[in-house]
Structure 1
């Protein structure tokens, strides 16, 4: 599936910040959340983003996972893989992605997942985490997958994305 009027591409990316959101070690990340999220929302093909409180400089870091406020999630929906790929790898977002090790712990397991949703559907964080868990347990299939399963996606390969971080 490549995205149609009937289906859009959802993605979840989770990470654990190396420090609390008000710590100087993650200040550059936190200070740019609104800028990068705003850019994403203005991109052609953007559909929806899980939001936090709207408090400036917090992005959606309030949507933490479990009881760990440093474990944060980014959940968005795009018209198709080309739109998401252009935002992730073809904008200033890539510069921040390249710096992720400054701000996030290295996770020992899969932390990114994509799946198709009916147009108009807004996935919940619980739904997205279930997709991620499905991918971790079963590997990629129609229910949950990564960049490597998207034949039309090439930018992630060309931009030298580390496979464990992208799949």
Structure 2
């Protein structure tokens, strides 16, 4: 097993209330898309609340219009393979039906030790880091990524 895994967060600002008719398709797709992620090659973990098994009740930055998706993957290739196929690809194509277009970064990635489960607070800090400093080994994008850090085997 690799000593480092890829954490990713992506946040989205809702255009409509989550229980609105405008978001019905999005809400209906949550369980199937999450099930695809859970079964995807290279998937490790995803944030889910205690209620319905997704993270729609968790509000990052104390913003009632923001949703958070936080997960851990084996590597960027596994994440990318999942993102651009199946139902996730279909949902991604419709994202602007449901979510506002924003100018600031809403997605970032970083390497974590295998077995680490990032918190929403940690994800928020990484996203702020990307927004303020641009891509670094501590917070990066698919377009500007960094390899996992070298880990001293004696640590």
TM-score, L = length of structure 1: 0.83
Verify: 1:126 aligned to 2:117, yes or no. Answer: no
124-133 vs 46-55, which deviates more?
46-55
Q: How many residues align?
A: 147
Task: Report the equivalent of 1:10.
Answer: 7
Task: Report the equivalent of 1:75.
Answer: 70
86-95 vs 71-80, which deviates more?
86-95
Task: Report the equivalent of 1:147.
Answer: 142
Deviation at 1:151, TM superposition (A): 8.1
Aligned counterparts of 2:17 and 2:125: Cα–Cα separation in 1:
25
- In structure 2, the residue corresponding to 1:147 is in which secondary structure? coil
Partner deviation per Cα, 1:24-74 (whole Å, 9 max, x = no partner): 011100111011011100001100000022427xx2111112333221100
1:41 aligns with one of 33, 38, 52: 38
TM-score, L = length of structure 2: 0.89
Contact 1:8 1:118 (C-alpha < 8 Å) held by counterparts: yes
Aligned counterparts of 1:68 and 1:10: Cα–Cα separation in 2:
22
Name the Cα RMSD after superposition. Answer: 1.6
